[in-house]
């Protein structure tokens, strides 16, 4: 089927000024063309060039180099933080990561507002951290630069979505493909869409290894 034939199957657009038509609330022609400070645009262009080249094609073992690049653009990263080369960070200067925090492969850090990731927290592959939205109650749909705070010892599993203004408590586990649109407390497992707490997170300490004399004794008895 040709393009013209396909277009012919679409319903005709009707002008909203015609009598009896339902009014359209959104007025995107009133949306701000430049919602960021002027200085941000220069930084964004410079970071985009670096991210698409040196950052993206850095070697798997070049984490220290990636951390230095992010720090050069204002990110507050602990020296032990881990960022995979395919992770995508919109604004490095709005990202903070604690000791041993990790961004996995293809993580989308859409940080229009600040994002904090606590110590020993893992953000697994293909997760989307969305710290930005629009005010849908305003016809002009102005940009809202929200924040996300993810606590310490959290595991956000693969393909999860963390929405604007969400806080995730310490030691919480966010299940694969969960959609977290409201803050969740510490020490729980949350799954589903929308994400809900299903149980406390088991956090038993690993059994202590046997002392050398105990191991020797058990060997002698075998």
Nearest to 127 by CA among 108, 149, 113: 108
pLDDT at 190: 98
pLDDT at 204: 85
**What CATH architecture does domain 25-204 belong to?**
3 Solenoid (2.160)
| Segments making up each domain of the chain, as ranges | 25-204
Q: Contact 129/154 with Cβ under 8 angstroms? A: no
Q: For tokens 């063309």, what's the residue?
A: 33
List the chain residues with pLDDT less than 70.
1-21, 207-222
Alpha helix segments (H runs only) across the chain: 3-8, 38-50, 63-72, 212-221
Q: How far apart are CA 197 and CA 201, in angstroms?
A: 10
The pLDDT assigned to 15 comes to 46
**Dist. CA 187–CA 136, nearest whole Å:** 33
Residue 173 DSSP SS3:
strand
Task: Based on DSSP, count helices (H) and strands (E) in the chain, helices before strands.
Answer: 4, 19
Q: Quick: pLDDT tens for 90-135.
A: 999 999 999 999 999 999 999 999 999 999 999 999 999 999 999 8
Residue 105 pLDDT: 97
The pLDDT value recorded for residue 211 is 55
Supply the pTM of this predicted model: 0.81
What are the distances in angstroms from CA 17 to CA 13, 21, 139?
12, 7, 17
Describe the strand order of the beta sheet including 173-174 as a list of residue ranges: 82-83, 102-103, 122-123, 155-156, 173-174, 188-191, 196-200
pLDDT at 36 (0 to 100): 79
pLDDT at 83: 98
Predicted pLDDT of residue 217: 41
Per DSSP bridges, beta strands 196-200 and 188-191 are antiparallel
């Amino acid at each position: 089927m040709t393009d013209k034939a396909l277009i012919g199957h679409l319903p005709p657009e009707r002008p909203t000024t015609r009598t009896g038509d339902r009014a359209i609330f959104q007025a995107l022609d009133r949306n701000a063309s430049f919602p960021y400070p002027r200085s941000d645009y220069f930084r964004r262009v410079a970071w985009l060039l670096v991210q698409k080249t040196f950052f993206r094609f850095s070697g798997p073992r070049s984490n220290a180099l990636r951390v230095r690049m992010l720090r050069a653009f204002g990110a507050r990263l602990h020296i032990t933080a881990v960022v995979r080369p395919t992770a995508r960070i919109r604004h490095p200067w709005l990202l903070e990561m604690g000791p041993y925090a990790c961004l996995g492969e293809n993580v989308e850090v859409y940080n229009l507002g600040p994002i904090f990731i606590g110590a020993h927290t893992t953000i697994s592959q293909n997760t989307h951290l969305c710290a930005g939205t629009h005010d849908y109650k305003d016809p002009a749909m102005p940009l809202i630069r929200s924040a996300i705070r993810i606590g310490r010892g959290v595991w956000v599993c693969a393909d999860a979505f963390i929405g604007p203004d969400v806080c995730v408590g310490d030691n919480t586990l966010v299940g694969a493909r969960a959609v977290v649109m409201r803050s969740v407390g510490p020490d729980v497992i949350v799954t589903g869409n929308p994400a809900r707490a299903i149980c406390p997170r088991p956090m038993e300490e690993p059994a202590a290894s046997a002392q050398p004399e105990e191991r020797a004794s058990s060997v002698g008895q075998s």
